[in-house]
């Protein structure tokens, strides 16, 4: 079955119209993609700064985050901090006692246990 010249022209017009719409979408979405990338970068930098500030303010919390390879900010924002810690310990295959030992070797301050207790999870890893 052969296409008539009219069918071929109509098909070419449809293809050209679709290609134009795709190009129009790409041109209009490119600045949005750039803005989203910039916002993601800014959010990453903001989170890094907040975590650095948290680690300076409460060194024990920074050490805990390092030991469990978690975000101290995510921990503080978790609806259930104890469950968050328990999940992190399970992922790392480490017990609460082992976390406590690591904590004592990293942060020698007697204040560190009190700091963690004040945040609601000092007993969990003592």
Residues 83 and 124 in one domain: yes
Judged against a pLDDT cut of 80, whether residue 70 lies above it is answered with yes
In this prediction, residue 119 carries a pLDDT of: 76
**Per-residue pLDDT band at 123 (split at 50, 70, 90):** low
How far does Cα 103 stand from its chain's mean position? 24
* Pair (46, 70) in one structural domain: no
pLDDT per residue as tens digits for the range 79-121: 999 999 999 999 999 998 898 888 877 777 777 777 777 777 6
Q: Which residue has the tokens 């007697």?
A: 110
Burial class (CB in 10 A: 0-12, 13-18, 19+), 16: exposed
DSSP string, 49-115: HHHHHHHHH-HHHHHHHHHHT--HHHHHH-SSHHHHHHHHHHHHT--HHHHHHHHHHH---THHHHH
The reply to whether 44 and 75 lie within a common domain is no
Query: For residues 118 and 58, which has the higher predicted lDDT (pLDDT)?
Result: 58
DSSP 6-39: HHHHHHHHHHHHHHHHHHHHHHHHHHHHHHHHHH
Please, which pLDDT band fits residue 124 given cuts at 50, 70 and 90? low
Q: What is the mean pLDDT of residues 20-40?
A: 97
Same domain? For 13 and 42 the reply is: yes
Looking at the structure, tell me whether residues 19 and 30 fall in a common domain. Answer: yes
On the question of pLDDT at 61 being above 80, the answer is yes
Range(s) of the domain holding residue 119: 58-126
More confident residue, 31 or 121: 31
pLDDT at 75 over 80: yes
- Domains in the chain, number: 2
pLDDT of amino acid 52: 96
């Amino acid at each position: 079955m052969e296409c008539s010249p009219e069918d071929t022209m109509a098909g070419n017009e449809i293809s050209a119209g679709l290609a134009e719409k795709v190009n129009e979408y790409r041109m209009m979405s490119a600045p949005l993609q750039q803005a989203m990338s910039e916002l993601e970068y800014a959010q990453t930098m903001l989170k890094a700064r907040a975590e650095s500030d948290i680690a300076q303010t409460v060194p024990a919390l920074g050490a805990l985050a390092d030991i469990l390879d978690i975000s101290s900010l995510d921990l503080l924002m978790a609806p259930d901090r104890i469950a968050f810690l328990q999940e992190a310990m399970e992922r790392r295959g480490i017990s609460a006692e082992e976390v406590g030992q690591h904590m004592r070797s990293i942060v020698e301050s007697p204040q560190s246990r009190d700091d963690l207790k004040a945040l609601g999870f000092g007993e969990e890893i003592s």
